[in-house]
Homo-oligomer: A and B are copies of this chain.
Amino acid sequence: MAGTLGRVLGLACVNILLLLLFSNNSVYSQSIVRNLPGFHGDLPFKLETGYTATGEKDDVELFYYFVESERNPADDPLVVWIAGGPGCSSLRAFFYEIGPLTFDYSRSKDEKPSLLLNPYSWTKVSNVIYLDTPVGTGFSYARSSDAYRTSDTLSSKHVYNFIRKWLIDHPRFISNPLYVTGVSYSGIVIPIITQEIYNGNEAGNEPQMNIKGYMIGNPLTDRNIDFNSRIPYANRMALLSDELFESAKENCQGNYISVNPSNGLCAKNLKEVEENLNFIYGYQILEPSCGLVVSGTSSLRKSRVLNSHRKNLFNPLRLPQQHQQPRCRGDTYDYYLVWANDRNVQRALRIREGTIREWEACNTDHYLVGKDDTETYSYNVASSVPYHRNLTNKNCRALIFSGDHDLVVPYIGTEKWIRSLDLTVESSWAPWFVDHEVAGYGTTFSHNDYSLTFATVKGGGHAAPEYKPEECLAMVDRWFAQSPL
């Protein structure tokens, strides 16, 4: 693990130099990138990268990748993408979920990842800012060790300020419909960020943002509801027997996450649950787990630990040499680790030298499995339901989508907290289609000027666009256009 101490010491050493170099950094804050290592020729879309200083002392430098809509940048929505974790880079979305490029597994070799265009990039229909947030994520960095410490609420303020400054720097996008989006842990911060935007508008902050709503996939929303939904979900999906599920429900009284240590029957049931789920790939229960085991941690935790620690396991020789998609999904992530740590790539992206030691997929300082506070991250919002509830009083649209084969944030937990909002059903549960096939099911709720669409993505995992890119692009395109799914 890189370790907080190492990072902060590293930062201390370069701080003075950085302050000199970038004390007035507006001239360096954005660059058009025309070529990228691994992609042959000029990029056929408009990519800009840059930093925006935020935080009270402007000592938080958030890095972003911005891709203009390949359709109609002037009118298409502006989407700000917040990755999960917290602390996972938005490059994951850029390459594996909703970005314009992906890896060409048939041509990538060892340490030379090769890129190709993703026909289902959300940039086909929207302008997307892929943002590295919170501070310490991806290429984002802090100018002081104090600024490296953050939280759900603080990082949300930083994102709000980021958007404000970014729009001031890019005034031609101020009038585009604005949506805050992301997956997984961003379910905690996106409603907060969206609320900040409404608050800012109401406070008269400039520029007034054309906020239209938010969109989150397999969102962590409420620790109790979401984590407690894993066991009933596993039962539904034939991973746990009815007997064990019923026993656990009774003995643990439906609470599987903060169990009274004196409750031996519940503990026994949970141990059996553990044994049943230990080798399941939680992100998509039908995919291979590829035998990666961290002893003593639950499978629900395991995959997260492994992904965050994956860089430690990295070995270029392990990269698949055959001309096909790797069998193990985790292996596909080796490619962006190689790519983002390549000096030529960092030069192409205009990464400021010396600002980060090593690019990590997920910052292990912030990102711990139990979602207990770390030295540098305070998980100070246990549930974003109150923020959703506040937003139901705004003129606001929400799209909540769930890959229905995800054990990490199962769709039934999401259904549960949505139901708790007591909205009016506008259109009842019905299939939605892509290419004449059922792509999932959707239902729409409303409350005054608030509208919430909940959609499952059939066969999708955590997060859905990685597994069902064509379906998810169709889904958002229709939703942006206010058409039925």
Contacts and interface: CB of A to CB of B under 8 A. Distances in A.
Interface residues of A, number: 37
B458 A286 contact: yes
Given A237-B237, A237-B404, A276-B431, 16 more contacts: A236-B236, A238-B456, A239-B458, A241-B429, A241-B443, A242-B415, A244-B429, A272-B428, A278-B431, A279-B431, A279-B433, A279-B437, A279-B438, A280-B438, A286-B286, A286-B459
A437 B242 contact: no
Interface in A267-290: 272, 275-276, 278-280, 285-286, 288-290
A430 interface: yes
Oligomer copy total = 2
A291 interface: yes
A51 interface: no
A174 to B, nearest CB: 39
Interface string A281-307: 000011011110000000000000000
Nearest to A278: B431
A243 interface: yes
A39 B170 CA distance: 65
23 contacts: A238-B456, A238-B458, A239-B458, A240-B429, A241-B428, A241-B429, A241-B441, A242-B415, A243-B428, A243-B429, A244-B428, A275-B431, A276-B430, A276-B441, A279-B431, A279-B438, A286-B458, A286-B459, A288-B437, A289-B438, A290-B437, A291-B436, A291-B437
Interface in A381-427: 404, 411, 415
A304 B358 CA distance: 56
Contacts of A272: 428
A411 B239 CA distance: 12
A459 B238 CA distance: 10
Would you list the 9 A-B pairs with minimal beta carbon distance, nearest first? A241-B429, A236-B236, A238-B404, A286-B459, A291-B436, A288-B437, A279-B438, A238-B456, A280-B438
